[in-house]
Amino acid sequence: MSSKVTPLSIILVSSGSKGYRLLFRYPFQAEEQQKLVKRDQSDNPFALQTPEDDAYTSSTSQSSTRQSCIISGELDNVLANILTPSNTDLCDQRFEVTVDDVKFVGHPLLVQDVNAKWRANSSTREGSTINMFNVVFVLQASADWSLVHCYQDLSKRLALALKHEEKRCGYLSHQAVIMVRAEDEVAGQPEDCKESPFHLMLHRSKLTQDLRDVYEGLHTNGIARVYINNWIEVSFCLPHKVHNVSEVITIKHNGIEKSLGAIRPYHAMLLLEDPNTLRASLPRDCSPALHRIIHIATPLKRLQQLSQDADLALSQVFQLVGHLVYWGKATVIYPICGSNVYILSPNAPTSPGTPLDFEFRMKFGESLIKVLSDFSLPLPLSDHRNRLAERERPEGELIRIVMWLLQKRLLIQLHTYVFIITNPTLAKKSSSDDLEREVSTPPSESSPVTRGRATPQGSGSGQGSGLGENLSFDSDEYSVSTGFTSFDSYSMEEGRGHPRRKVLDMLTEHLTKEEKSSVLAIPHANNPEDIKLFARICPYLRGMHHLEEIMYYENVNRSQLYALLEKFRDVLVTCSHQDAASVQYKEFL
């Protein structure tokens, strides 16, 4: 049932006036499962085993036995002492203990004197008090550090909620008494009719039911949501489990966190679930802004336009989108348009008869393998119109197909990145006189170089909520200056009449001496407009910014940028790969 990222067990331990106690453990049927395994292994008395088989079986059996003994109940008293720190200095911080092939992680908390008045009354009534407790998750010893931190964070959330309720109404102490009474009741039963005390606890204790729901939620979909004492909500998302999309690709936790930092205003949000279903699953006290974003979200709109349509600050939109991405409800893409280049993902299943093939056929009425073959080569989306016309399908169908393929991680989008290089042949042609030569346009008053964030002057081309009607196969240009930049820049209007020295200063700031000489040796560098535009984009020529990003930040259209790259092709090299905001691609983050 468990995998490498899901817990083997969840345990609640405490210390107090009655000493160290293991109050609850789930699951609690491991001993029966172990008996079944041993029985299955001994079913065939005539099986012949080689020495190699004996060594492997012995090693595997010892590892399995150790894990089973630890989580099955045979060592409950020992675990109660190990998992409850005797030193109070170890409380309220990350807890981690490794025993053989099992790792125990948690976050122990002190609860003594949180409510002295209640404890004075309850100690007489209940007969015991709790001074410390720990919600422990049992993992495999090989668990990644990021996975360990996630479970320690979940343990801390549960512990803080329990401590709050203990202070408010003595909830933890009351639930502990229920568990102890159930254990004593089972201990008094005859040997032949004993049942697990934990099974009885599940019928009587709300806390044990919550811990069971946490465990099962982590195993089912990686999401846990419980209400401690029907009062405090504890929500948790395990990225390692949530972002295993259709078993096509597994995305690591650190990749998610880094990709959230790479979200930009020119990106778009693609929901991975039906909007109505997603809104219905949100908590009752969810922010209205999140409902608004989900309602108007479309993969055709940039986040900046989404913020304007929703009447929200761009920073708030980033937070909401990042929240949905982290919880596996959405992904970040570049807005779908005709100039986008898509190619088949290397992890896409290409065998017929797969569950994805069946789902696609039910949704679109054709073979998934046939559609995937159309994306075997990196082509602009506009080139797929002809194939769609041959099948007599509307353009809106293409958008829905691309959306579905992106949701399932079957397609990846390629972006063009530009690198500047040194051309020794051109560098030799450049002389010191060329470096001092000025542009032949009439001089005018200099304008200061702008730095920092540029104020948006308007929105890009409008896109409605419809899909088929709003796709522009012809252009994805930005009609106004938008976004922000940390680089020096000149607008084309402000640059008219600047002396060549201003442009050279910009080149000197971002290029090496050899690179600068190579650029100025190109004939098109004598054109004032070309060299000014090149000076504006030279900070982006280190392979860290794709063309769409340059277009957004510098307010240049695609044709203008392509023409400039062609003119300076002797000192530029291009390559294509995924955007850094894509959670599958982490090398360039």
Same domain, 514 and 399: no
The DSSP secondary-structure symbol of 272 reads S
CA-based angle 571:414:515, to the nearest 5? 15
User: Is residue 552 included in any domain, yes or no?
Assistant: yes
Same domain, 390 and 437: no
Sole residue written with tokens 């675990």: 79
Helix residue ranges, H only, 365-469: 368-374, 384-390, 395-407, 424-429, 432-436
User: Is residue 329 included in any domain, yes or no?
Assistant: no
pLDDT at position 85: 83
Same domain, 158 and 23: yes
Same domain, 426 and 392: no
User: Is residue 117 included in any domain, yes or no?
Assistant: yes
Same domain, 85 and 233: yes
Q: Give the torsion through C-alpha atoms of 282, 286, 291, 292, to 10 deg.
A: -170
Same domain, 388 and 495: no
User: Is residue 587 included in any domain, yes or no?
Assistant: no
Same domain, 430 and 535: yes
Contacts of residue 306, Cβ cutoff 8 Å, sequence gap at least 6: 268, 269, 293, 296, 297, 317
The domain boundary residue, chosen from 213, 242, 271: 242
Q: What is the CA radius of gyration of the chain?
A: 31
Same domain, 404 and 424: no
Full domain range(s) for residue 74: 9-31+63-242
pLDDT at position 192: 66
Cis before residue 27, ω within 30 degrees of 0? yes
Backbone φ and ψ for 213, nearest 5 degrees, come out as: -65, -35
Same domain, 392 and 491: no
Same domain, 430 and 404: no
Sole residue written with tokens 């401690």: 228
User: Is residue 157 included in any domain, yes or no?
Assistant: yes
How many helices (H) does the chain have, and how many strands (E)? 26, 17
User: Is residue 100 included in any domain, yes or no?
Assistant: yes
User: Is residue 84 included in any domain, yes or no?
Assistant: yes
Q: Using alpha carbons, select from 164, 172, 284 the residue that is nearest to residue 235.
A: 284
Determine if residue 78 is left, alpha or beta; phi over 0 gives left, psi from -120 to 50 gives alpha, anything else beta: alpha
Burial class (CB in 10 A: 0-12, 13-18, 19+), 155: buried
The DSSP secondary-structure symbol of 453 reads P
User: Is residue 441 included in any domain, yes or no?
Assistant: yes
pLDDT (tens, 9 = 90+) of the chain, 589 residues, equals: 346 889 999 999 998 877 888 999 998 864 444 443 444 444 444 344 444 444 444 544 555 555 565 555 567 778 888 888 877 888 889 999 988 889 999 999 988 766 555 555 554 445 567 888 999 999 999 888 888 999 999 999 999 999 999 988 889 989 999 999 988 888 877 776 667 888 889 999 999 999 999 999 999 989 999 999 999 999 999 988 887 654 445 566 566 777 787 888 999 999 999 999 999 988 888 899 999 999 999 999 999 999 999 999 999 999 999 999 989 899 899 999 888 999 998 888 888 888 898 999 999 888 899 889 889 889 888 888 766 666 666 767 888 999 999 998 899 999 999 999 887 776 666 544 454 444 444 444 333 333 333 333 333 333 334 444 444 444 555 543 333 333 334 343 444 445 577 888 888 888 888 888 888 888 888 888 999 999 999 999 998 889 999 999 899 998 999 999 999 999 999 999 888 666 544 443 3
pTM over the 0.85 mark: no
Total number of domains in the chain: 3
Same domain, 430 and 520: yes
Q: What is the DSSP string of 41-104?
A: HTS-TT----HHHHHHHHHHHHHHHHHHHHHHSTTHHHHHHHSS-SSGGGSSS-EEEEETTEEE
pLDDT at position 502: 82
Q: What are the tokens at 373?
A: 């073959």
Same domain, 103 and 232: yes
Long-range contact set of residues 431-440: C-beta below 8 Å, sequence gap at least 24:
434/520, 434/521, 435/504, 435/517, 435/520, 436/501, 437/500, 438/499, 438/500, 438/501, 439/498, 439/499, 439/500, 439/503, 439/528, 439/531, 440/528
The domain boundary residue, chosen from 187, 216, 242: 242
